[in-house]
Structure 1
Amino acid sequence: MSWQQVASCALDSAYKYPLPLGPRLHRSSSREELKSLTMDLRQELVYNAKLAEQAERFDEMMDAMNRVAMLDTQLTAEERNLLLVGYKKVTSAKRASLHVLASTELKEATKGNQGRVRITTEFRHKVEAELDRICNNVIETIDKHLLPFSSDAKSKVFYYQMKGDFYRYLAELKMGPEIFEVADQSLKAYETASKIAEENFSPADHIRLGLALNISVFYYEIMDSPDRACQVAKQAFDEAVVELESLNEDDYNDSTMILQILRNNLALWNSNMDIDADDAPEWTGKGGAPGNPPA
């Protein structure tokens, strides 16, 4: 993207987004001024996202970081994590809402309360539409504004894994053949991320481990294949343990945290207990701790 296009994007974002930078932009600004203002806008959007996170206003955090992504430039590791946390916090809340609504819908249907079933179903469809829109929006942002400007292995794995995750969330909303169509897109993204990760990172690296964890959750939850889920999780666990001591302290702590989740999931999946698939935690990145249900 040319500097003129970047500046135009910054200008449009500034007028749309309620930040102090907006009034300082003028159509007559020079190239150097527009470049400087674009950087100022980026910094202010990132600050706004951090502020929104502290205030637990995750929709605004998501929107701010999405505008950073649309500047068509390579994001820093911090910016990538802010983008991920914003989107995952918003989608996690909506997925949790859908679990509650589905449970309520079933309970009211069991009682024969058709009026309440209709109301609950309409509410569920509304939340599903919101989640569908958000997932498709982040996938489009990744494809159009992030992957084309990513030159290093870490960012590429990050975005392809993120695509796989949000296609997985979309698959949760689908019925019949649509599930497999969306699941196939999720698997393709995960496989692309895996290929890059295997070529660039050791089995004990938290990037590769986190990816393996989420792929195993995909097989368990979406593909209904506990055997394959356990295979992926166990292979990742066994290969990482051998090389764990070669990591520095920070990476060691990140990796051991994911290894513990892998071990816990394996214990759940290998048991004969009636465990809901949504009880399997996934890795949500350094900016968000794994939890129940997956974020």
Structure 2
Amino acid sequence: MAGTRAENVYLAKLVEQAERYEEMVEFMEKVIGAVATEGEERNLLSVAYKNVVGHRASWRIVSSIELKEESRRNKARVVSIRDYRAKIEAELTSTCGGILSLPEEKLVPSAFSSDSKIFYLEMRGDYNRYLAEFKTGFDRRDAAESTLNAYKSTRILLQLRCRPHM
């Protein structure tokens, strides 16, 4: 369903009430198109992704169980757990990749206000931080560097906004 911008915003609100956050993400991605969003649309986008990325808690739980089974030397269970953890990591990578492609390609360059730019840069920092939680090696380093860069950019914009006008 392509729908108009207003229809997609309405449907995003509807599926939010039904707690169908993956579909909410889809509707909000249609809303965004090639234009940055403000206010309500920006908040709906944030809610959609925050709820989809909730798998982070699942990853932490599964990782904790994996450590317990490793300490018990239960190799068969550890193999099963690692496979399942890899599935969760793939889902998280996909979700974070989806939101990270939006700010870089669509949102930050065309954001209307400094508040929106700050919001999207902070979001980019947050989702890179989520990746850094479970990635390893160079992927982890890259995610951590991207997190730091986004947060630094956010801080600079905040400082400029708070600077007295003369």
Structure 2 length-normalised TM: 0.91
What is the alpha-carbon distance in structure 1 between the residues aligned to residue 114 and residue 162 of structure 2? 9
Corresponding position of 1:164: 125
Point out where structure 1 has 5 or more consecutive residues left out of the alignment: 1-12, 15-20, 22-40, 203-295
Post-superposition CA distance 1:110-139 (Å, at most 9, x none): 222211111111000011011011111111
Point out where structure 2 has 5 or more consecutive residues left out of the alignment: none
Corresponding position of 1:121: 82
What is the alpha-carbon distance in structure 1 between the residues aligned to residue 138 and residue 109 of structure 2? 31
What RMSD over aligned residues (CA atoms) do the two structures have, in Å? 1.5
Tell me how far 1:181 sits from its aligned partner.
2.1
Tell me how far 1:54 sits from its aligned partner.
1.1
Corresponding position of 1:109: 70
Letter paired with 2:48 = G
What is the alpha-carbon distance in structure 2 between the residues aligned to residue 152 and residue 146 of structure 1? 11
Tell me how far 1:178 sits from its aligned partner.
3.2
Corresponding position of 1:68: 31
Corresponding position of 2:58: 97
Post-superposition CA distance 1:158-202 (Å, at most 9, x none): 110010001101111222343222211111111111111111148
Letter paired with 2:37 = L
Higher share of residues assigned helix: 2
Corresponding position of 2:113: 152
Among candidates 80, 84, 96, match of residue 42 of structure 2: 80
Structure 1 length-normalised TM: 0.53
Runs of 4+ in 1 over 6 A off after TM superposition: none
Q: Is 1:142 the counterpart of 2:136 in the alignment?
A: no
Aligned-residue identity in percent? 40
Work out whether residues 121 and 151 of structure 2, in 8 Å CA contact, stay in contact via their aligned partners in 1.
Answer: yes
Post-superposition CA distance 1:14-38 (Å, at most 9, x none): 1xxxxxx4xxxxxxxxxxxxxxxxx
Corresponding position of 2:11: 48
